[in-house]
Structure 1
Amino acid sequence: MLSQAEKALTPFAVIGALSLVTIIYKLSQFFYPYVRSGSVEKYNKNNNSWALVTGSSDGIGEAFAHELCSKGFNIILHGRNPTKLSAVQSKLSASFPKTQFRTFIADAAASTETMSTAIQDLVTSIKDINLTVLINNVGGTASMSNDFKTLTDTTTKEIQDLVSINLLFTTHLTRALLPILSQQESSLILNTGSASHIGMPYMVVYSATKGYLSAWGNALSIEMQSEGFPVEVMTVLSGNTQSGQDVRAASLFRPTSSAFAKAALEKVGCGRSVVVGYFWHAVQGASMGLLPEWAGRLGMIMVLRPMKGKNLDD
């Protein structure tokens, strides 16, 4: 029989065991997406599948296109600049001579009418191919006079462009392509999100659009499951990444576009609708999550207030 002392300690032992199990479970959940192999290849079973990558003129979009080429997909490159897209296509064709390419020219900041026409033309033009993957990568702060400014200093046009580029174009394009993707044996919609979705000062509208993207992607994922459509929808969050014309050196916490794209595609099939794409960005996010709210807010102010009036590449 248990002594009185042992009986008194039993609840604490149970609490300790449950706490240990909880810690182990949370750690396993944290590491799982980063130790497993991705399964994007399952969307190219017959080696004749196509992937559409938006915003593929450079940076992360171009890197996604390169990674998908290496996995045997044919690629539709999207951008607003035909010359830049042609250069990207030539570069990829040299590395992957057997890959087929098409281009989709559309300005994500265009008016709704112009945008709708371009998207409808795309839908009509791809009826002869097997589209199974949509990478919603287009986004950014293209029209901003500088990337970090207060809301009151942000012009009406800048707000409209930010919403169009980061939110409306992706939503309209996905809606138009869903009838095609949902009829496939299986298909993938991967959205490139951002850690700024938590809400960042001096990037108020931009961070809000990224918050929309995470919520929208999660809702669409559940909707596809509810409707019984074999469409995997996921939003892969990025932190600070070297991309585009940014010439600053890459580092452990600042991967190249290629490293991020590769890591993001490795998350396909992980079972999560929203996931941080790159391991060290996840570590950063988890570390921030341990801070009390006041400390996190103060940290953002200390980091971002000096950036006011500057650009991301400065």
Structure 2
Amino acid sequence: MPVEIPTPIVLSLAVIGLIYISAKILSYLRKFGPKGSWAVITGASDGIGKEFALQLASKGFNVVLVSRTQSKLEALAKDIESRHAGIRSKILAMDFAKDSDEDYGRLTALVDGLDVAILVNNVGKSHDIPVPFLHTSIQEMSDIITINCVGTLKVTQIIAPGMVQHRRGLILTMGSFGGLLPSPLLATYSGSKAFLQQWSTALGSELKPHGIQVELILSYLVTSSMSKIRRPSMLIPSPKNFVRVALGKIGRSGGAQGIAYTSTPYWSHGIFHWALATFVGLSNAFVVDRNKVMHESIRRRALRKQEREGKKHL
């Protein structure tokens, strides 16, 4: 008969394991900057960005929080400082879609003189619902490219020179399976993430001699407002679990299948990536067509929902 381990022992072992993993994460992150150095997180007020801010603060990093909504940033900064004595926060409300020189000037002034050890390029935008490219509005196309691509590049140009000066640093950029798999009905978003994949890999090679580690973090489905998935499951993590795993695997490619300066840290995402790359091919016509069918179905459901909600307001 199987031996039943008492629940208190199981819980104790889980706690010990969590402490051990946390200690390993902390010791690794410290190579990028001493206690009291800073982490800059874009798209910090919700989801994955918020979790990066919370978890990096818990590791002893001061945080610069950049996102669109002032009230959310203020609430997050207050939460972080109340949880972690001695941790400081700075906030900047900016709308990356506006591509405002004044906003980037304010960011430059905000980080001036700070020892920024970690940059998390998390800000991003997808399509409101899957949409054929020829029906995509000019505004939506512009916003996606401006936020995902231009914003990420400009923030990195502001932050990275300080890392070069200190000869250490970590630059994490949130990628997506949409950048790996050509995604019909999400064509502009898919292209923007593919751009970030190539840019981040090239940047990793450029900055490596300066002691800076660059990593693009690939994710598939995570519960978030962007994915519109609300409940986590065994295969779909919450932002909290995803970020914890991602920070624990910095420097390891996971399931990224040999793509330089890239990781697929969450286990189910890594298996999916491996299976596609090994048995099918990431740009295989069958995969692209199945992706198209899936997004067409999502679009039909979204349009029906919009129609129902529109009738409610008549």
1:309, distance to aligned residue in structure 2 (A): 5.1
Relative to structure 1, the CA distance from residue 309 to residue 120 in structure 2 (aligned partners, 3 Å threshold; closer, same or farther) is farther
Amino acid at match of 2:58: S
Amino acid at match of 2:140: E
Counterpart selection for 1:303 from 286, 294, 298: 294
Moved more, 56-65 or 299-308: 299-308
Structure 1: give runs of 5+ residues left out of the alignment.
1-36
Higher-Rg structure is 1
What is the CA–CA distance in structure 1 between the aligned matches of 2:190 and 2:170, rounded to whole Å?
A: 25
Task: Give the structure 1 partner of residue 172 of structure 2.
Answer: 190
Task: Give the structure 1 partner of residue 111 of structure 2.
Answer: 126
Q: How big is the alpha-carbon RMSD for the aligned residues of Structure 1 and Structure 2?
A: 2.0
Amino acid at match of 1:248: R
What is the CA–CA distance in structure 2 between the aligned matches of 1:120 and 1:53, rounded to whole Å?
A: 17
1:220, distance to aligned residue in structure 2 (A): 0.5
Amino acid at match of 1:299: R
1:167, distance to aligned residue in structure 2 (A): 0.6
Amino acid at match of 1:249: R
Contact 1:58 1:88 in 2 (8 A): no
1:251 aligned counterpart, secondary structure: coil
1:40, distance to aligned residue in structure 2 (A): 1.9
Moved more, 298-307 or 213-222: 298-307
Counterpart selection for 1:79 from 57, 67, 71: 67
What is the CA–CA distance in structure 2 between the aligned matches of 1:309 and 1:68, rounded to whole Å?
A: 40
Contact 1:44 1:72 in 2 (8 A): no
- If asked which structure has higher relative contact order (CA below 8 Å, sep 6+), I would say 1
Relative to structure 1, the CA distance from residue 273 to residue 247 in structure 2 (aligned partners, 3 Å threshold; closer, same or farther) is closer
Counterpart selection for 1:240 from 187, 198, 221: 221
* TM-score, normalisation: structure 1: 0.80
Contact 1:51 1:133 in 2 (8 A): yes
Counterpart selection for 2:207 from 221, 224, 236: 224
The percent identity for this pair of structures is 26
1:107, distance to aligned residue in structure 2 (A): 0.8
Task: Give the structure 1 partner of residue 267 of structure 2.
Answer: 279
Contact 2:38 2:117 in 1 (8 A): yes
Task: Give the structure 1 partner of residue 90 of structure 2.
Answer: 102
Contact 2:182 2:288 in 1 (8 A): no
Counterpart selection for 2:78 from 54, 74, 90: 90
Moved more, 290-299 or 170-179: 290-299
What is the CA–CA distance in structure 2 between the aligned matches of 1:298 and 1:216, rounded to whole Å?
A: 27
What is the CA–CA distance in structure 2 between the aligned matches of 1:247 and 1:291, rounded to whole Å?
A: 26
What is the CA–CA distance in structure 2 between the aligned matches of 1:207 and 1:90, rounded to whole Å?
A: 35
Tell me the matched-pair count. Answer: 268
1:306, distance to aligned residue in structure 2 (A): 0.4
Contact 1:149 1:309 in 2 (8 A): no
What is the CA–CA distance in structure 2 between the aligned matches of 1:244 and 1:62, rounded to whole Å?
A: 13
Task: Give the structure 2 partner of residue 14 of structure 1.
Answer: none
Task: Give the structure 2 partner of residue 171 of structure 1.
Answer: 153
Task: Give the structure 1 partner of residue 45 of structure 2.
Answer: 57
1:106, distance to aligned residue in structure 2 (A): 1.3
Counterpart selection for 1:205 from 183, 188, 205: 188
Matches within 5 A, 1:31-70: 38=25, 39-45=28-34, 47-70=35-58
Structure 2: give runs of 5+ residues left out of the alignment.
1-23, 254-259, 306-314
Matches within 5 A, 1:231-270: 231-244=212-225, 246=228, 248-270=230-252
